[in-house]
Amino acid sequence: MTHDSHTQDDLVFSQKKPKTLNEKVDGFLNSLGDVLNDITALEVNTMIVARISGSKFNPLAAYEDIYAITEEWFEKNHIAEDCTGEVRSKCRENYLKLRQNLERHYKAVIHDPTATLPEPNTMDKLDVVFENPEFLRALRKIREQKSAYDSDDPKSADIDLIYAQTVIQLDGDVVNRFHEKLFDASSDKRELILTIHRQGVATGEAQWRGLLNFVVDLLKKFRFNLF
């Protein structure tokens, strides 16, 4: 006589069916659509940094960085402590919104409006969302936003001054921003930075438009072959 015992998780797992080819294709096409939404604008920043890190985007490290943001973290790290009350309050609000934004994306991915961000050591929960491309894109953007906030804080160790910034929208709008310190530099240094920035914009725009055309052509070919 044999006896098999199955937990509820075993039963749920056994009911999962592998995705069909059509489902995989649909998922791929949806991913391409998401990519198009993410590349509707080109942003080129020219910075002078003390060193260039070879590290790539690490989802867990980025998650830990955002998860750590609390009222206590803000005070402990002396963020914007030399600023006026109103400015410091706004700075605190901006940082806390990063964590709130990440939690909002987490709730959307797991379809639970009451959920809270899991602790970084609960890898069973994080592995699920780390496999979700939409969550990873949101996490990357939120981490980049935090880096921008860090750079604005004079007491931050992550200061990388952006001297020039160009944003090109898909509809043709172009926005150029230049840090005031660029105009405090010597004429030779200023011209060198602007030359490098112009070259970066030209190269970035060519690659951006090439990527747009590639994704659009790929979508057209898939749609044509399917229908």
Cα gap 127→135, rounded to integer Å: 11
Write out the two tokens for 105. Answer: 């994306």
What pLDDT sits at residue 81? Answer: 64
User: CA 211, CA 35: separation in Å to the nearest integer?
Assistant: 10
What integer pLDDT is reported at residue 77 of this predicted model? Answer: 76
Q: According to DSSP H, which parts of 17-120 are helical?
A: 21-38, 59-67, 71-76, 85-110
Going from the C-alpha of 178 to that of each of 50, 148, 194, the distances in angstroms are 20, 15, 10
The model's pLDDT over 7-35, given as tens digits with 9 standing for 90+, comes to 444 444 444 455 565 666 666 666 666 66
**pLDDT reported for residue 5:** 46
Tell me the pTM. Answer: 0.56
pLDDT at 37: 67
Q: In what order do the strands lie in the sheet with 161-169?
A: 41-48, 161-169, 174-178
Six-digit token string for 3: 């006896």
> How confident is the model at residue 27, as a pLDDT?
65
How many Cα atoms are found within 13 Å in the side-chain-facing hemisphere of 31?
A: 13
The reported pLDDT for the residue numbered 172 is 84
- Residues 83, 85, 90, 91, Cα dihedral to 10°: 40
- Residue found under tokens 């804080």: 153
Cα(98)–Cα(141) distance, integer angstroms: 10
Question: Which positions of the chain have pLDDT values less than 70?
Answer: 1-38, 49-55, 78, 80-84, 151-160, 222-227
- Token pair, residue 103, equals 């939690």
**The tokens of 107 are what?**
């709730």
Give SS3 for 43.
strand
Structure tokens at 84: 């006026």
The residues pairing with 167 across neighbouring beta strands, listed in sequence order, are 43, 175
| Closest C-alpha among 57, 69, 111 to residue 94 | 69
* pLDDT tens-digit series, residues 196-223: 999 999 999 999 999 888 878 877 776 6
pLDDT at 103: 96
Instruction: List beta partners, residue 44.
Output: 166
What is the rounded distance in angstroms from the CA atom of residue 101 to the CA atom of residue 66? 10
Residue at 194: amino acid letter: L
